[in-house]
Amino acid sequence: MIGKLNHVAIVVPDLAAASALYRNALGAAVTQPVPLPDHGVTTVFVELPNTKIELLHPLGEGSPVQKFLDGNPSGGMHHVCYEVEDIHAAIEHLVAEGARVLGDGKPRTGAHGLPVVFLHPKDFCGTLVELEEVAGARAASAG
Ligand code: CO
């Protein structure tokens, strides 16, 4: 069902420092920060040849990543995002398999303007999993 690894998200205490680290020490292409107030985060994308790294920093009150940062002051891996071709079919399948979809269980618009859902980390080996609907996800992963 899942296709490509779309991104790995890392929560960072200092977005400018993390961007510079990826740009200078690791020599990666790094985007400008993009504030996403609806999600309570500011994101920077690190573009790799086969996937992306999403650097996340809390934005505003009650950011979902603030608690994570409180528990992990130097930052840490937050979630992995897999592409799916049909997010509604994926949700139906996962619920039938006993997995829990976070929130109201319905897709919302994610960082790339595409529908996403998050799956309960306790159901996936202690890792928060994001699914993103990408047209042709399966065809692309097979190619
Ligand atoms: Co993500």
Backbone angles phi, psi at 22, to 5 degrees: -70, -35
Domain total for the chain? 1
From CA 57, how far away is CA 74, in angstroms rounded?
A: 12
From CA 74, how far away is CA 129, in angstroms rounded?
A: 21
Whether 130 is a known active-site residue: answer yes
Q: Tell me how far the alpha carbon of residue 91 lies from the centroid of ligand 1, in angstroms.
A: 17
Q: Tell me how far the alpha carbon of residue 143 lies from the centroid of ligand 1, in angstroms.
A: 23
Statement: residue 2 has pLDDT above 50? yes
**Cβ contact 79:128 at 8 Å:** yes
Q: List all residues 6 or more positions away from 95 whose beta carbon is below 8 Å from its beta carbon.
A: 101, 105
DSSP code of 14?
-
User: What residues pack around ion ligand 1 (CB closer than 5 A)?
Assistant: 9, 81, 130
The pLDDT of residue 136: 77
Q: Tell me how far the alpha carbon of residue 80 lies from the centroid of ligand 1, in angstroms.
A: 7
Place of tokens 């296709």: 3
From the list 54, 83, 85, 130, the catalytic residue is: 130
Which domain CATH number covers 65?
3.10.180.10
Q: Tell me how far the alpha carbon of residue 86 lies from the centroid of ligand 1, in angstroms.
A: 17
The pLDDT of residue 135: 86
Specify which residues 83 forms β-bridges with: 132
For 84-125, write each residue's pLDDT tens digit. Answer: 999 999 999 999 999 999 999 999 988 788 999 999 999 999
**Structure-token pair, residue 127:** 């890792």
DSSP SS3 for 95: helix
Q: Which domain holds residue 61?
A: 2-142
Tell me the CA distances in angstroms from 138 to 87, 111, 143, one per residue in order.
12, 20, 9
Backbone angles phi, psi at 65, to 5 degrees: -100, -5
